[in-house]
Chain A
Amino acid sequence: MNLIINGEQRAVSGLQTLPELLEALALPADALLIEHNGLALLRDEWTARPLAEGDRIEFLRITAGG
């Protein structure tokens, strides 16, 4: 399956949901903001969120420095 992750095309295989993608990318969930096809997800919407060919995913780690 081809996904566009942070603006770059990535081929991934053997996964169907967002949590599986996080695991495959070794991205810790701490302070992570996720936008799926232009929609910022609330935390409880991550679980079992299905992914499809061509989906756009944007990740951002929230920081606290000032």
Chain B
Amino acid sequence: MGVFAPQRLESTNLSPEELTRYARHLALPLVGVEGQRRLKAASVLCIGTGGLGSPAALYLAAAGVGRIGLVDADTVELSNLQRQILHGTGDLGRKKVLSACDSLREVNPLVKVDLYDTQFRAGNAMGIAADYDVVLDGTDNFATRYLSNDICVFLKKPNIYGSILRFDGQCSVFAPHLGGPCYRCMLPEPPPAGSVPACAEGGVLGVLPGIIGTMQAIEAIKLILGIGEPLVGRLIHFDALKFKFREFQLRKDPRCPVCGEHPSITEPVDYDRFCRVPALQSRTEAGEGTLSVSALKAKLDAGERFLLLDVREPFEWDICHIPGAQLIPLGSLPLRMNELDRSGAIALLCKSGVRSAKALELLKGAGFTRLSNVEGGIAAWAREVDLEMARY
């Protein structure tokens, strides 16, 4: 069973140049000329051109997948280059999709590359993914992973899942239409926002996505070729420190709201709400509870008495911090809040304003009253106030 209608193969032939370029594939009994024609006739959508999307898209292009779609709204930043090998130093500040497209063209100019310089959202996801045979999830947050899962279930397309953090990676293929479970069967409820760190806070070994992303590319190619045993209903966990692989047997949940027997979710939902991602709007609407970085600068310059409490991790503090601030990482705050003066004014700061908003709620719940959240965090401070500050 293939990922596209067999008729598509009839009009797909290989040129003499392609026969030479893909000679090592043609020599493989399970690929051959017919398999290579299948790859040429196929299309893969890579959601994200970051750590996972980079190696996956590069290898898919090199392998001769006929059409590759790239979705990413970000621009290339210096802290990306430790792992996102689609992008180079000369690409800093460029749109990631453009930089990625150049890299893929260099690897294989015969591949058609479609660019989506946009966030993958509930409103556009179905329209974008409908045009592809296989979806490769290289996103970096729970909300987009649920979105990617759901639309693949609706469209009956395999969703090749990979995720990384620190020294650990995970890979699976979610494909209820092939008899397997979906992401929601494995994880019906997202963890509370902020409880599972992202790579930006927890860190990630730069090589690790090279391993997981190429595993995803292998699964995409196997599905297109219809060979081997796809990673359906199985999740591979790779522990780089121990260099061990574990395999988890995943099961389909008959009561799954998306792929179960009586689905209650039949179209994309509000994923930020589902994952309780604090919305930018609700943070700014909090009014007196928020403080812009310019207002913070004015308070500091005026010598006002208040505590600037930085709730980031120590390694982030080492990269940059605002003089006079005190560091208590969010995770330690419940145990250490008795060090703080309950009657004093406290301005809370993190990288972007999300963790500090959580800290504010935590302190509010403990009876603190004179609290404010620094909007946009130290990232905004580095953009608007101290342009010399190191960014990450």
User: Which A residues contact B (CB, under 8 angstroms)?
Assistant: 28, 30-31, 33, 35, 38-40, 42-43, 58, 60-66
Contact = CB atoms under 8 A, between A and B. Distances in A.
Contact of B145 (A28, A33, A38, A64): A64
A48 B302 CA distance: 59
B196 A63 contact: yes
Contacts of A30: 191-192, 195-196
B195 A39 contact: no
Nearest to A6: B246
B36 interface: no
Nearest to B185: A42
B345 interface: no
A60 B48 contact: no
B67 interface: no
Interface stretch (B1-9, B13-21, B152-160, B247-255): B247-255
A66 B170 contact: no
Contact of A66 (B191, B196, B209, B237): B209
B141 interface: yes
Interface in B177-236: 185-192, 195-196, 198-199, 202, 204, 209, 235
Interface in B239-281: 246, 248-251, 253
Interface stretch (B24-32, B50-58, B101-109, B289-297): B50-58
Q: Of residues A31, A35, A39, A63, which shows the largest number of chain B Cβ atoms within 10 Å of its Cβ?
A: A63
A61 B202 CA distance: 14
Contacts of A31: 187, 190-191, 195-196
Interface of B: 48, 50-53, 137-142, 145, 162-165, 168, 170, 185-192, 195-196, 198-199, 202, 204, 209, 235, 237, 246, 248-251, 253
A60 B198 contact: no
Contact of B196 (A38, A40, A43, A64): A64
Given A62-B191, A66-B53, 14 more contacts: A30-B196, A31-B190, A31-B191, A31-B196, A58-B246, A58-B248, A62-B163, A63-B168, A63-B170, A64-B196, A66-B137, A66-B139, A66-B140, A66-B164
Contacts of B249: 35, 38-40
A64 B149 CA distance: 13
A8 B109 CA distance: 50
Contacts of B246: 58, 60
Contact of B253 (A28, A33, A42): A42
17 contacts: A30-B191, A33-B186, A40-B186, A42-B185, A60-B237, A60-B248, A63-B163, A63-B164, A63-B170, A64-B141, A65-B164, A65-B165, A66-B51, A66-B52, A66-B139, A66-B162, A66-B164
Contacts of B191: 30-31, 62
Contacts of B209: 66
